[in-house]
Structure 1
Amino acid sequence: MVPETRLVGNMALLPLKTQFKGPARGDGIESDIIDEAIYYFKANVFFKNYEIKNEADRTLIYVTLYISECLKRLQKCSSRNQGEKEMYTLGITNFPIPGEPGFPLNAMYVKPANKQEDETMRAYLQQIRQETGLRLCDRVFDPQTDKPSK
């Protein structure tokens, strides 16, 4: 992790290549944490134990868990348009953040220290969710047939 990386809670606020508004900027970067999570998704979901070495690992784990949720929802979609609508809805739906009931990994994440950090974390995670959903649609749906591909 780069030393000047900002933190929210004990997660790294990493740059993102995104069109969505939020605290992460990624001007000029070639790949980001979402690309990494999608690329290593199969390998990462088979780990029974994942050693967290730094704050960026927590961000990667969050994106990996979110990809799992997206794929469950995309299984029910028969076209890219339907998939994009589902991903948009999931991306903006109110969701728990670390420290709140319902967050799946509260034992590994610390809650935001104050209201400003809470707002930054919520905005960053929403930005991740929106961008991840859009990129998954690019991977899941065949551009020629508009149908899900394996």
Structure 2
Amino acid sequence: MPAYNSTFISDEAADSRVIGNLILLPIHTKFRGPAYPPNQEYDIIEETLDLFRANSFFKNFEIKSSSDRLLIYGILFISDCLNKLTKTTNYKEAVRILNNLSLESFSLPGDIGFPLNSLYQGPANKSESDLLRSYLQQFRQELADRLLTRIYKDDENIPSKHWLAFTKKKFMNKNL
């Protein structure tokens, strides 16, 4: 059984911006950045959260579109977020931890420290690099925020064991 790919293939033909081979899809967000709101309620962040648990079992992933690359990045970021949380972390502490994680310095595709350079092309110039960095930072902030909403849906003092069970899983044997 193959891994689940992104359903945002049709959005690639629309007015979306592509940097390297990573598409900047619209997202619903309350954080500042270059992303604009989509025409529909379901966005790439919801899709990433929905497909995370199913895809985290796969060691291989066939990339069919540039939106799959954004999905891969999101899944790997969720794995990093879950690894930072523990069973005793309450909601307020988790917000602080994941805000720090989403805002900390990170490498872009094409940089020396980026773990998936074989799958991603780097930005062509400095302005594209700045745009990609601000988009990915906004993407990370919104993804961390929505992840916290799902993890602490039942109780603000105890994270969901159904999410924390995936801390030992490594999607594609990689991490950011």
Q: What is the TM-score with the length of structure 1 in the denominator? A: 0.93
Matches within 5 A, 1:38-49: 38-49=49-60
Aligned residue among 120, 127, 133 for 1:109: 120
Distance in 1 between residues matched to 2:72 and 2:154, nearest whole Å: 29
May I ask how many residue pairs the two structures share in their alignment?
Answer: 150
Deviates more, 1:85-94 or 1:133-142: 133-142
2:22/2:120 contact within 8 Å kept: yes
What percentage of residue pairs aligned between the two structures are identical? 45
Aligned residue among 20, 23, 32 for 1:12: 23
Structure 1 residue 29: Cα displacement: 2.7
Say yes or no: does 1:69 pair with 2:80: yes
Deviates more, 1:61-70 or 1:43-52: 43-52
For 2:43, the aligned partner's letter is D
Structure 1 residue 97: Cα displacement: 0.5
2:34/2:134 contact within 8 Å kept: yes
2:110/2:122 contact within 8 Å kept: yes
Structure 1 residue 115: Cα displacement: 0.7
Match of 1:86 in 2: 97
Distance in 1 between residues matched to 2:38 and 2:80, nearest whole Å: 28
Structure 1 residue 143: Cα displacement: 4.9
Question: Secondary structure at 1:40's aligned position in 2?
Answer: helix
Distance in 1 between residues matched to 2:18 and 2:102, nearest whole Å: 22
2:87/2:158 contact within 8 Å kept: no
CA deviations over 1:99-121 (Å, ceiling 9, x no partner): 11221101000010001100010
Distance in 2 between residues matched to 1:8 and 1:81, nearest whole Å: 35
Distance in 2 between residues matched to 1:30 and 1:106, nearest whole Å: 32
Runs of 5+ unmatched residues, structure 1: none
Question: Secondary structure at 2:94's aligned position in 1?
Answer: helix
For 2:42, the aligned partner's letter is S
1:77/1:83 contact within 8 Å kept: no
